[in-house]
A = this chain, B = another copy of it.
Amino acid sequence: MSKSAPIRVTVWNENRHEQEHEHVVKLYPRGIHGAVKEGLEENLTAAVDVRTATLDEPEHGLTEEVLGSTDVLTWWGHMAHGDADDEVVERVHRHVLSGMGLIVLHSGHLSKTFTKLMGTTCTLRWRSAQDRELVWTVDPTHAIARGVPHPIIIDGQEMYCEFFDIPAPEELVFISSFSGGEVFRSGCTFRRGHGKIFYFSPGDQDFPVYHHKDIRQVISNAVQWALTDRPRRELPELLQHGTDEFYKDAGCKDTTAVYEETTA
């Protein structure tokens, strides 16, 4: 991919609260996906090419074709994680391991996609009570923290608290505190296979967080960070090679079946 080609982003949203709760519609008249898309376009303009997809579309809008032409996927879900089709989840998982970037937002921590990639329960403690959230940067040279104040101030937000059951993040970028005194690892990076993953907790259907200038900046930074430099999408695979041929192009072949049968 040439440096001047725009990053192809698919913003995925469960889009159920928006159909069921009047106050959510007021906060997000074009859906949470609409607000996230708007934030990306505002910050990245021509450097990004954004489309959206939602749960109720066929295959949740995440066909092989869509994923194959997506550089970075953002994921928001909450009340209907269980409705995500296992086959689609499997497909997203494979694309991430093959090199697609993934930004998981807020309650997406309990999505099938994220828990499958993490291998843990991804549970946490929570309270929905209009807490003030402060998002502090603890990795000030990280590309995802570029251009945001220290701390970011969110006047009203759902509270998320430790223990957050995730693997230790490879890079811890943000830590949040809440009015009640709770803390949360709110910005975390992970690499899985050939894919780069960022989890970012601010954002909720009941608060206008995806209209917040700094939150939009972080998500925009993350999309740029998650873009892989690899020339093509490729799942890591089991390969066999002979002695002294390992570094020649011809030396390796996929041998899953052989591997499991081998004996001297």
Contacts and interface: CB of A to CB of B under 8 A. Distances in A.
Interface in A180-238: 180-183, 185, 190-196, 205-206, 228-230, 235-238
B168 A175 contact: no
A45 interface: no
Oligomer: number of copies: 4
A121 B97 contact: yes
A228 B128 contact: no
B183 A177 contact: yes
B162 A137 contact: yes
B165 A126 contact: no
Contact of A191 (B137, B141, B170, B247): B141
B240 A126 contact: yes
A141 B99 contact: yes
A128 B131 CA distance: 25
B138 A185 contact: yes
Contacts of A23: 263-264
A140 interface: yes
Shortest Cβ-Cβ A-B pairs, 3 listed: A165-B236, A206-B264, A146-B229
Given A120-B192, A177-B181, 10 more contacts: A21-B263, A117-B119, A121-B193, A121-B235, A123-B239, A136-B162, A138-B164, A146-B229, A167-B167, A181-B246
Interface of A: 17, 20-21, 23-24, 78-81, 97, 99, 110, 116-121, 123-129, 131-132, 134, 136-141, 143, 146, 149-151, 153, 161-165, 167-168, 170-172, 175-177, 179-183, 185, 190-196, 205-206, 228-230, 235-244, 246-247, 252, 259-264
